[in-house]
Amino acid sequence: MSTPVDAERAWQDLQRIRVPQERVYDEIERSAQSDLGSTYFTAAVMWVFLAVTGLDLPTWAFWLVLTAYFAVLGSVAVIYNRRSRIRLHRSRHSWRSFATFVAGMAVTLVTILVSGFVANQLALPFGSLIQATASTGAFLLFVGPANRWAVSALRDRGARVGHQAVS
Amino acid sequence: MSTPSGFDELIHPSTRLSVVALLAATEWADFSFIRDSLSLSDSALSKQLHTLEEAGYLEIHKEGGGRKRRTKVRLTSRGRTAFDGHVAALRAIVEGAGPTTGATPATESAAATTSGTQHQQQRAEAGR
């Protein structure tokens, strides 16, 4: 037996669908704004890694530090994933999310190379500390606004995906 | 009154529709997040989830143990297809009713005097 549905009820149901989906985007935005702890921790680990690799380490020690660095980053990612209450569906991500990730890596890498080059050219004392501080600073300055920029497009993107799915 | 193809009787009740709509926007969602977002009790949500799980519309995974135990809920591809079809059916009903229908006579008269254009704008937004 089918339930008869008039246009008014159907319209109300379409409105009802939007409310929980808005809650999802509220949660995504709240997480992006309030999760400063993991950002600062990632920056601190990066600073330590760059400062240590600036020392004249033997090859085995360099690889050990590099492995430890990625292990810590992996642990941060796992902890962050466990704390999050939702994960946005892949169809709802916009190109901005990917662009932010790539640009973040590019900005950090370029800052590492440029600050290292400048420190070497000017023969600055504590070059690796300067390099680490400049790179970490660039990372911190970039990641906040970039995340906000990426997240701000998700709600509109979600509305468009919802529309395409049914048209 | 006939219903368009894709209209899903299982998703149609308002609570289940809200649950599936929320899950449609996510890869997975925590049980507590769904409960808090929809202002449901644990038992009410659990009942709806099991109904949808039995139909193959979603999967429920329990992780961890003790105080850290958490329940993740994920819409299956079957559930996602059913939701998309249901929304398409709802849109077909609204659009099939024409520009002046979609409201009961009582609300039509009210809309004519106060916010007829606003109603249409809202309906257009719902379609976006």
**A124 touching B (Cβ < 8 Å):** no
Helix A7-34 and helix A154-166, axial crossing angle in degrees, nearest 10: 150
B101: left (phi > 0), else alpha (psi -120 to 50), else beta? beta
Is the CB of residue A83 less than 8 Å away from at least one CB of chain B?
no
What does the DSSP 8-state code read for residue A91? Answer: G
Give the containing element (helix H, strand E) for A26.
Answer: helix A7-34
What's the CA gap between B31 and B52, in Å, rounded? 14
Cβ neighbours around A63 below 10 Å, total:
11
Determine how many CB atoms are found less than 10 A away from the CB of residue A110. Answer: 12
CA dist B18 and A164 (Å) reads: 19
Q: Is A27 among the domain residues?
A: no
Helical H runs in B1-128? 14-24, 31-38, 42-54, 77-96, 105-113, 116-127
Q: Is residue B26 part of a domain?
A: yes
Inter-chain CB proximity A5 and B122 less than 8 Å? no
In this structure, is residue B125 part of a structural domain? no
Q: Is the pLDDT of residue A53 over 90?
A: no
The 10s digit of each residue's pLDDT in A71-121 is 999 998 888 888 889 999 988 888 888 888 899 889 989 998 998 888 888
Domain that holds residue B69: 7-78
What is the tens place of the pLDDT at every residue in B18-54? 999 999 999 999 999 999 999 999 999 999 999 999 9
Residues 6 or more apart in contact with residue B76 via CB below 8 angstroms: B56, B57, B58, B59
Indicate whether A1 belongs to any domain: no
CA–CA distance, A57 with A62 (Å, rounded to integer): 6
Domain contains B83: no
Which among A22, A87, A166, A167 is the top mutation candidate for probing chain B, defined by the most B β-carbons within 10 Å of its own β-carbon? A166
The predicted-structure confidence for A56-85, as pLDDT tens digits, reads as follows: 888 999 899 999 999 999 998 888 888 889
Q: How far apart, in whole angstroms, are the C-alpha atoms of residue B50 and residue B63? A: 17
CB contact under 8 A, B21 and A20: yes
What percent of chain A is modeled with pLDDT above 90? 29
> How many separate domains does chain A show?
1
- Mean pLDDT over B71-93 rounds to 93
Contact A24 B7 (CB under 8 A): no
Q: Which residues contact B51 (CB under 8 A, 6 or more apart)?
A: B10, B16
- Selecting from A4, A8, A88 the residue whose C-beta is nearest the C-beta of B26 gives A88
> Which of A3, A82, A85 to probe by mutation at the B interface, max B CB count within 10 Å?
A85
The answer to whether position B93 is within a domain reads no
Q: Is residue B42 assigned to a domain?
A: yes
Q: pTM of the predicted model, to two decimals?
A: 0.74
| Within a domain: A57 | yes
For residue B107, the chain A residues in CB contact (below 8 A) are 8
Contact in structure between A54 and A128 (CB atoms under 8 Å): yes
Contact status of A14 with chain B (Cβ, < 8 Å): yes
Give me the domain span that covers residue A145: 34-166
Nearest to A10 among B24, B29, B94 (CB): B94
Q: Is the pLDDT of residue B128 over 60?
A: no
Domain assignment present for A138: yes
- Read off the CATH number of the domain in which B62 is found: 1.10.10.10
Q: Tell me the pLDDT of chain B averaged across its residues.
A: 78
Q: Helix/strand/coil (H, E, C) string of B95-112?
A: HHCCCCCCCCHHHHHHHH
Measured between CA atoms, how close is B54 to chain A, in angstroms?
20
Q: Does A18 touch chain B (CB under 8 A)?
A: yes
| Residue B46 falls inside a structural domain | yes
